[in-house]
Amino acid sequence: MRMRSLTRSAAGTTLAAALAVGLAAGFTSPADAQDAAASLASLPASSATPSSAPSPAHTGCDPIAGTACLLPFPDDWYTRPDHSIPTGRRIDFTASDLPVSALAGPADPTAWNRLDGFSPGSALVLTVPGLDLAASGLAPVTDIGRSLVADAPIVIIDETTGARWPYWAEIDANDPQHRALLVHPARDFLDGHHYAVGIRNLRSATGAKIPAPAPFARILSHQLPKQDPLSERQRELKPVLTTLRRNGVRTSDLYLAWDFTVASTASLTGDLTSIRDNAFARLGSAAPTYTVTSVTDLTATQDPNIARVVEGTIQLPSYLSQPGGPTGSVFNRGPNGRPAQLPGNIQTADFRCEIPRAAWTKPSQAALYGHGLLGSRNEVGSGNVKAMAGEHDFTFCATDWIGMAADDPNTVIAALANLSAFPEVTERTQQGVLNALFLGRDLVNPAGFAASPAFRTADGRSLLDSRAGVVYDGNSQGGILGGVLVAVSPDVKRAVLGVTAMNYSILLNRSVDFTELQPALDAGYPDKLQQQIVFQLMQMLWDHAETDGYAQHLTDGHEVLMDVAFGDHQVANVAADVEARTIGARLHVPALASGRSPDTAPYWGIAPMIGPAYKGSAMVVWDSGTPPAPLTNTAPTGPQYGHDPHEDPRNSPAVRLQKAVFLTTGVVIDVCGSAPCAEPPVS
């Protein structure tokens, strides 16, 4: 077994730190903070104790880099052969490999060890003492094309296809001590594929070549005798070195080389698709059971756009471990490892629908709405959503994204400080997606909402056009999670993902929102280098509940319009660009006015839309005049970054017109007059 010493903090220290975390994260009362403290301090023993597992393929940390465990990351050293799963490899972490929480102790690797590879959005993480990005010629985010030149210092090869992979490289600006090198795929790695990495000819600020770590240098030097501790690792790396040589990388130039496997589609999406398939098979042709709890009719004076608000609940199977699936639940897993319903466990999902005045003249288009970070279904009643409904005859209905909703801040805080608790976020979020899928089915099934007097006129005419199906519109977190809903929905074929992106491991450091949650991460994992590893480990689980894990197939049978706010302070544009490249979205051009982007080739790798009316998935960039975001992995805090444009696109009548046409026809019309799309900031 891979083992190293493990220590726990004293209980009093844990409680005090948790209390400080709760207050720093913006809780409004000490009682709220005490709840967060309890979430951390009262974790069950099983959350901090590694489960029994077969003997790993290796012992200890990968010796090639000679630094912290799990570096370089991702790395097939931490997998073992398993021919029963699609990739033939299984993640094989032990508690001694994973970062140890200062609050909760060692992490349980069980959730990771179900997977057959790493995240398709994984950043490559390693430390290179003395590295200078410019002197080494590493491709920055402003010049991604440089990553594919013949002599690029970092070469990533898809061994399944033989193709070079694009990326950008940066130094972790949050950690001047370790200065970790972060290498982000410019387009997500492909599900189930195997990659070889070669890093060569790295330079210090003086231009001096940085020598390879001593263990790796020994592997390259000569054939090691079998009794040498590095002999087996040398044998394993031979195919990687062969692949690199075939691609013009001389072994003598290497600083480091290794390989990794990306999780298969079945591994990434299998939990959610299994509960979807089970729940819908049991539902059959029926509509989900629902109860209308209130109907509020509004006069035009009270609301010029919305004539009726309908609220209620939907009942569906819960696949979570606690009755009713409260916050903190994880999946109840059956003998095959997939989620299974406990006998009689029912999820009750609250919903709210806003029916526009126009529906009394012409039945409205049914639409699901996705709310923002740790919000609620009540966001469907915000001004911009009601304006969209009233202007374009949409009935928007929403339910809470449980797992990442208003009930969940304490659980999220606990999970940031303790990796073992992270499935409580991602697994409940998947149940939340299923809740939204059932809400969508009630919108389109004639025996669903259309059969209720709450969705009919006084003379019995339906206010919903059930023939038009259901579409999706979500903003911020509703865009990040909305891609999952669209990818797995049997009913939604078109969606707008507003101020969106994917891959929380990129987004967190770059978001002003995360500054309130950073104290939780600091309390659990104070070392900044370990935090970058924690982000990557979290992403391996987050992939199951956010678009990053579904992006390869998001546009298979679906059409998606991405609306992006240039310089967004909350959802980083760089991660939206990766999403657009991954899903094959076309770009409205010109995207920005000349001089607005700091990039050498703005929107590298994203093909332009063809013509003023393009049918298909696309990305439109909306510019409110905000300065570009930092080029580092830091948030745009401070007056030099100006107004946060995050709310601007959804509040634009032009954006709402473009969205409405797209959602009803699949055509992206040019509402910007063949010019960059610009809107004044929301006051």
Nearest to 138 by CA among 167, 164, 179: 167
Residues 264, 85 contacting (CB under 8 angstroms) = yes
More reliable by pLDDT, 21 or 142: 142
Burial of 38 (0-12, 13-18, 19+ CB in 10 A): middle
Q: What one-character-per-residue DSSP string does 604-644 give?
A: TT-PBP-SSEEES-EEEEEE-SPPPPPSSSS---SGGG-S-
Burial of 436 (0-12, 13-18, 19+ CB in 10 A): buried
Residues 420, 411 contacting (CB under 8 angstroms) = no
CA distance 302 to 84: 61
CB burial of 39-52 (b: ≥16 within 10 Å; e: otherwise) equals bbbebeeebbebee
Length of the chain: 683
CA 335 and chain centroid, separation = 28
583: tokens are: 């899903």
Q: Is the dihedral of CA 484, 485, 486, 489 positive or negative?
A: positive
Query: What pLDDT is stored for residue 604 in this prediction?
Result: 98
CA distance 643 to 634: 17
User: What is the 3-state secondary structure of 528-547?
Assistant: HHHHHHHHHHHHHHHCCCCH
Q: At what angle do helices 30-41 and 11-24 cross, to 10 degrees?
A: 140
| 547 contact partners, CB below 8 Å, separation of at least 6 | 480, 481, 482, 483, 484, 487, 497, 500, 502, 554, 579
% residues pLDDT > 90 (the chain)? 90
Residue type, 484: V
Region 260-271 average pLDDT: 98
Query: What pLDDT is stored for residue 33 in this prediction?
Result: 35
182-231 residue pLDDT tens: 999 999 999 999 999 999 999 999 999 999 999 999 999 999 999 999 99
Query: What pLDDT is stored for residue 47 in this prediction?
Result: 33
% residues pLDDT > 70 (the chain)? 91
List the chain domain ranges: 59-265, 289-468, 469-502+555-630+642-683
Q: Is the dihedral of CA 519, 523, 526, 528 positive or negative?
A: negative
C-alpha count within 13 angstroms, C-beta hemisphere, residue 524: 31
**Bond into 590 cis (ω within 30):** yes
pLDDT band at residue 57, thresholds of 50, 70 and 90?
low
Nearest to 473 by CA among 385, 533, 410, 557: 385
289-336 residue pLDDT tens: 999 999 999 999 999 999 999 999 999 999 999 999 999 999 999 999
Query: What pLDDT is stored for residue 68 in this prediction?
Result: 79
Query: What pLDDT is stored for residue 467 in this prediction?
Result: 87
| 551 contact partners, CB below 8 Å, separation of at least 6 | 120, 188, 483, 502, 579, 582, 583
pLDDT over 60 at 644, yes or no = yes
Element (H, E) at 396: strand 394-399
More reliable by pLDDT, 33 or 230: 230
pLDDT over 90 at 466, yes or no = no
122-149 residue pLDDT tens: 999 999 999 999 999 999 999 999 999 9
pLDDT over 90 at 522, yes or no = yes
Query: What pLDDT is stored for residue 90 in this prediction?
Result: 98
Residues 497, 561 contacting (CB under 8 angstroms) = yes
Fold of 59-265: Immunoglobulin-like (2.60.40)
pLDDT band at residue 49, thresholds of 50, 70 and 90?
very low
| 24 contact partners, CB below 8 Å, separation of at least 6 | 516, 519
More reliable by pLDDT, 27 or 657: 657
366-421 residue pLDDT tens: 999 999 999 999 999 999 999 999 999 999 999 999 999 999 999 999 999 999 99
Query: What pLDDT is stored for residue 524 in this prediction?
Result: 98
Region 650-678 average pLDDT: 97
Nearest to 294 by CA among 353, 369, 377: 353
Furthest-apart CA pair in the chain: how many Å? 88
CA distance 9 to 7: 7
